[in-house]
Amino acid sequence: MSFEVPTGREEAWRFTPLRRLRGLHGDAPFDLGKIVTAAKADPGVAVMHPHHGDLRNGSAFLPQDRVSARAFDSFEEATAVSVPAGLTASQPVMISLRGESAEHAAAAHTLVEVGANASAVVVLEYSGSATLADNVEFVVGEGASLSVVSLQDWDDDAVHLSHHAAVVGKDATFFHTAVSLGGSVVRLAPSVRYAGPGGNAELRGVYFADAGQHLEHRLFIDHNEPNCRSRVTYKGALQGNGAHAVWIGDVMIRPEATGTDSYEANRNLVLTDGTRVDSVPNLEISTGEVVRAGHASTSGRLEDEYLFYLMARGISALEARRLVIRGFFGELVGQLAVPELADQVMTAIGGKLEKGLS
Amino acid sequence: MSTLEIRDLHVSVAGQGDEAREILRGVDLTVDSAQTHAIMGPNGSGKSTLAYSIAGHPKYQVTSGAITLDGEDVLAMSVDARARAGLFLAMQYPVEVPGVTVSNFLRTAVTAVRGEAPKLREFVKELNGTMKGLSIDPVFAQRNLNEGFSGGEKKRHEILQLQLLNPKIAILDETDSGLDIDALKVVSAGINAYREVPGHGVLLITHYTRILRYVRPDFVHVFVGGRIVEEGGPELAEELEANGYERFLPAEVMS
Ligand SMILES: Nc1ncnc2c1ncn2[C@@H]1O[C@H](COP(=O)(O)OP(=O)(O)OP(=O)(O)O)[C@@H](O)[C@H]1O
Ligand SMILES: [Mg+2]
């Protein structure tokens, strides 16, 4: 482990408020922090809690920075979910990580393996109060399908630095939706690489930063196999002083990745003054034979003209904002793999809007 | 019976710098329900400014004067409260609102104005019937509000809203602009259906006598330089059509 303590000048850290991380990027000890994990799944799905040394050979995790390396070295007990080959899990696997205090740093590790031609939905729910560094591995077998919803539903004081690393097998499908609503600082880095041709990865995100919140999503898609597809769609809203959203979309198309089809988009809706968006798409193409490779990034004000038009029809300011926001997030939220979560997320977004107006 | 009263209204708009520019310079106008008033005037004379000021657009600063609806102080009301009090503005340039469907928008607006949510089935029936009356294809209900609509389609949807929201006084800002001949008839019929209901007044802003043949005004006002400079009956519109605004323009404005 040879990662230096970041200073904030590095490309990868320049947007992150290091001073608010409570040493998580440095040397904060992990032994006192506590995260309560729980997992619920179909009887056919194995859920285990291996100790640090016993993480089974399914794990191929390779830390990419100091925080994930320290977390990987320091967690005590992982949560390991395994869906056997050929099984279609009838219920979503629910994994919850709940923090009880943000005072001490904590580390966690989660491994989700889906066997060949199996299919599963996994919901990760982060909640409570914590200073957490964690890694989540997804290993999607050949022809398998995995849909993940990761809810960052933290209390106001939480700090969370997280890596979600997926390996997508031959002809496999991986859906991942990050929903980041709570917390003081959330920095989530979902990454995808492929273990064979024909893989399909869709990464989506919904976030809403209000006053003082820093919500950062750093995506990395490594097109290292031919004929794979990736789609990235992240949408966020910002309101209130000091609300800060960061979106980094790195896509690398390697020389061997012929026939790649890739597109990434990030859209931000700015509701008030005093907010800041950094949105950086980054596409690196090393082969001439791509099907499609593109990106888009837009950040716009919630137009006063929309609000005036809706209010001129009798609709209150709050309801008008709600209509526009629902329209903005509606499609992404409507596609959540667990429909009941859609209402929960929309209600939470409505709550944040209301708080912002009062 | 309702009355919209505008008294000595002065309105400014913030210019490029900080300097406010006065656009309305003392407008006096009384619109009773059961009356139709037409306002005609050259480009830039302030007609839309008057319409927006009545609706409460935040860009327009009322510096003096009064607007009341049945004695209630309209200027003290928020934009949405004005609409719920019974004022409606069909806009010259309806706004495109991405992500909000026509049907969702209309149901939300109808709920706000009527004070209770209509039953979904009844609302769908009412919406379909009203759309049919205006020759609007039902697929529009699921499209995003005004997004990608043609000019004429936007204007039809303004009248659709007028009929569903059923205000006391409707201000129609160049609703006839951009309409083809058939659409003009359909939209005029829509306005007339609204006018025929007792207690409904209309203030219609237009450049053309064309629509006034279908929607006969009781009064015509000539609007120049931020105020009403002449009033008359329908025959005044014919005279304007023939001679233009020349006789109303002060020499120094003619540069
Ligand atoms: N938001 C604004 N910012 C700056 N100037 C404005 C604004 N709104 C109106 N104006 C100016 O006020 C004047 C009156 O504009 P208004 O739109 O009311 O005219 P109008 O009579 O409706 O013209 P038209 O017949 O072309 O629709 C114009 O000179 C216009 O440029
Ligand atoms: Mg105008």
Question: Which H, E and C letters describe A33-60, residue by residue?
Answer: CCEEEEEECCCCCEEECCEHHHCCCCCC
Residue A12, helix vs strand vs coil: coil
DSSP class per residue in A244-280: EEEEEEEEEE-TT-TTEEEEEEEEEEE-STT-EEEEE
Identify the pLDDT of residue B255: 45
Identify the pLDDT of residue B212: 94
Ligand 1 pocket, residues with Cβ under 6 angstroms: B 13, 23, 41, 43-49, 59, 92
Q: Is A312's pLDDT higher than 80?
A: yes
Identify the pLDDT of residue A56: 64
**Confidence label for A58 from pLDDT (cuts 50, 70 and 90):** low
Measured between beta carbons, the chain A residues lying within 8 angstroms of B173 are none
* Inside any domain, residue A298: yes
Q: Nearest bound ligand to CA B47? A: 1
Q: Nearest bound ligand to CA B39? A: 1
What is the nearest CA distance from A308 to chain B, expressed in angstroms?
7
- Beta-bridge partner residues of A11: none
For the question of an ipTM over 0.90, the answer is yes
What is the nearest CA distance from A270 to chain B, expressed in angstroms?
15
Q: Among B19, B23, B93, name the best residue to mutate to test ligand 1's pocket (greatest count of ligand atoms within 8 A of Cβ).
A: B23
Cβ neighbours for B69, distance < 8 A, ≥ 6 positions apart: B2, B3, B4, B5, B82, B85, B86, B87, B168, B169
Nearest Cα to B251, choosing from B225, B220, B231? Answer: B225
Q: How far is CA B182 from CA B134, B186, B187, B189, in A?
A: 11, 6, 9, 11
Instruction: Report d(CA B112, CA A291) in Å as an integer.
Output: 49
Instruction: Report d(CA A190, CA A175) in Å as an integer.
Output: 11
By Cβ distance, the residue of B78, B100, B165 closest to A327 is B100
* Inside any domain, residue A233: yes
Identify the pLDDT of residue B252: 57
Chunked mean pLDDT (size 10), chain B, 255 residues: 96 81 97 96 96 96 97 98 98 91 96 96 96 95 95 95 97 94 94 94 95 96 96 93 86 53
Inter-chain CB proximity A315 and B56 less than 8 Å: no
Domain limits at A195?
11-302
User: Cα–Cα–Cα angle for A259, A260, A261, nearest 5°?
Assistant: 120
Inter-chain CB proximity A323 and B165 less than 8 Å: no
By Cβ distance, the residue of B58, B97, B99 closest to A330 is B99
Residue identifier of the C-alpha nearest atom 4 of ligand 1? B15
CB interface of B with A, residues 75-104, below 8 Å: 78-80, 82-84, 88-89, 91, 94-95, 97-101, 104
Cβ neighbours for A84, distance < 8 A, ≥ 6 positions apart: A44, A45, A46, A115, A118
Q: Within 13 Å of residue B204, how many CA atoms lie on the same side as its CB?
A: 33
What is the nearest CA distance from B88 to chain A, expressed in angstroms?
7
**Confidence label for A57 from pLDDT (cuts 50, 70 and 90):** low
What's the average model confidence in pLDDT over A134-138? 97
- The answer to whether A155 and A317 have CB atoms below 8 angstroms apart is no
* Inside any domain, residue A171: yes
Inter-chain CB proximity A323 and B100 less than 8 Å: yes
* Inside any domain, residue A146: yes
Q: Is A355's pLDDT higher than 60?
A: yes
Inter-chain CB proximity B83 and A305 less than 8 Å: no
* Inside any domain, residue A234: yes
Distance B44 CA to ligand 2 centre (A): 7
Number of Cβ pairs closer than 8 Å across A and B? 75
Ligand 1 atom closest to the CA of B49, numbered from 1:
18
pLDDT tens across A165-197, in order? 999 999 999 999 999 999 999 999 999 999 999
Measured between beta carbons, the chain A residues lying within 8 angstroms of B144 are 327
Identify the pLDDT of residue A161: 98
Residue A141, helix vs strand vs coil: coil
Inter-chain CB proximity B165 and A313 less than 8 Å: yes
Residue identifier of the C-alpha nearest atom 10 of ligand 1? B13
Number of domains chain A contains: 1
Inter-chain CB proximity A312 and B79 less than 8 Å: yes
What is the nearest CA distance from B168 to chain A, expressed in angstroms?
13
- Beta-bridge partner residues of A299: A268
Measured between beta carbons, the chain A residues lying within 8 angstroms of B80 are 311-312, 314-317, 320
Inter-chain CB proximity A308 and B165 less than 8 Å: no
Ligand 1 atom closest to the CA of B51, numbered from 1:
18
Distance B174 CA to ligand 2 centre (A): 7
Inter-chain CB proximity A319 and B79 less than 8 Å: no
* Inside any domain, residue A126: yes
**Confidence label for A55 from pLDDT (cuts 50, 70 and 90):** confident
What is the nearest CA distance from A309 to chain B, expressed in angstroms?
7
Measured between beta carbons, the chain B residues lying within 8 angstroms of A328 are 98-99
Instruction: Report d(CA A250, CA A218) in Å as an integer.
Output: 8
Please state, for a pLDDT cut of 70, what percent of chain A lies above it: 98
* Inside any domain, residue A253: yes
DSSP label at B81?
Answer: H
* Inside any domain, residue A177: yes
Q: Identity (one letter) of the amino acid at B121?
A: R
Identify the pLDDT of residue A239: 95
Residue with tokens 């608010």: A20
B108 at the A interface (CB within 8 A)?
Answer: yes
Distance B17 CA to ligand 2 centre (A): 23
